[in-house]
Amino acid sequence: MTNTSHTSGLIAHLDVAPEVAEALFAGQPVVALESTIISHGFPYPAGVECALEAEKNVRDNGATPATIAILNGRLKVGLSAEQIEYLATAGSAGVAKASRRDIGVLVARGADGATTVAGTMLVASLAGIRVFATGGIGGVHRGAQTSFDVSADLLELAATDVCVVCAGAKSILDIGLTLEVLETHGVPVLGYRTDDFPAFYARTSGFGVDARFDSAADIAAVLRARRELGLRGGTLVANPITAEHAIDPGVLDGWTTTALAEADAAGVHGKDITPFLLARLHELSGGATEQANKELVYSNARLAALVAAAL
């Protein structure tokens, strides 16, 4: 098992599913997947559907999926269908959002947690998984100049050697400042077949990427070079949502402005704001954003599998 390289304390808290452990031991490609999308990202049963379909897309493109969560205080790397169902039915009321700061508390309490981008990156790294597919990363929230609301995802990208394949940053964020923070921390932002940084539901944000690559093999070459050079931290791969599932940026910005104003009026902030805003966008769009969200997750899962295989 790959966990033998870790300390006995870590092994005591880490459960790697047999399928995932065998793939890692054999040097076969593995892709990590997050679990907040199951419990907090979609209403039931859409979270189950999205998680299982994302795993299928990873398998269909030559890699082993490893959905990550915390259950009864155990760091789970690879979930069963029953565990995915549990996370979805327990939902946000029964399962905590687990970022880096929360993991020690949840383990100590023997509690359940659905891992965010930052939390998934951390656990994936502990298990020896180098590629992770998600929907979109967190970032600098609008108005952060006064609220100082900056996602832990950005600092995790700066610290943890995992490649994160995403559809850019969520459109509810200040994308310009998000990219500035990534630049400050030396995180390369690579565009997959695009020169423009995507904005989750929209293919473009008005901001560029650091470098464009048109194949998974070329992205893998960057990851390999960074590791050989001993460069610290993660790599962000921006994979735009497919054109047929994208939402017009102007329409999306109008919905986002409305949702942000409602969040402010309701006093929603901190880790509660993203689920609130995504739920309101779903309502304002008549469900269009939910379908777009699923499709971009599947697309990212496919690309992450190809990158992992190329490594």
Question: What's CA 26's distance to the chain center, in Å?
Answer: 25
DSSP-H helix ranges across the chain:
8-11, 18-25, 36, 46-60, 81-94, 100-109, 117-127, 144-147, 152-159, 175-184, 216-229, 249-266, 273-284, 288-310
- Start-to-end CA distance of the chain, whole Å, equals 20
- Which listed residue (34, 85, 290, 295) is catalytic? 34
In the three-class reduction of DSSP (H, G, I as helix; E, B as strand; rest coil), residue 274 is classed as: helix
Token pair, residue 259, equals 């949702």
Nearest partner of 97 among 49, 151, 18, judged by Cα: 151
Is 246 within 8 Å of 202 (Cβ atoms)? yes
| Structure tokens, 246 | 């994208």
Which one is catalytic: 156, 170, 290, 294?
A: 170
252 φ, ψ to 5°?
Answer: -60, -40
Q: In terms of DSSP bridges, do strands 113-115 and 64-71 run parallel, antiparallel, or are they unpaired?
A: antiparallel
Quote the tokens at residue 98: 């687990």
56: annotated active-site residue: no
Which residue, chain included where needed, has tokens 């960057």?
222
Give the number of C-alpha atoms closer than 13 A to the C-alpha of residue 207, restricted to the C-beta side: 20
Tokens matching residue 25: 């031991």
Residues involved in catalysis = 34, 170
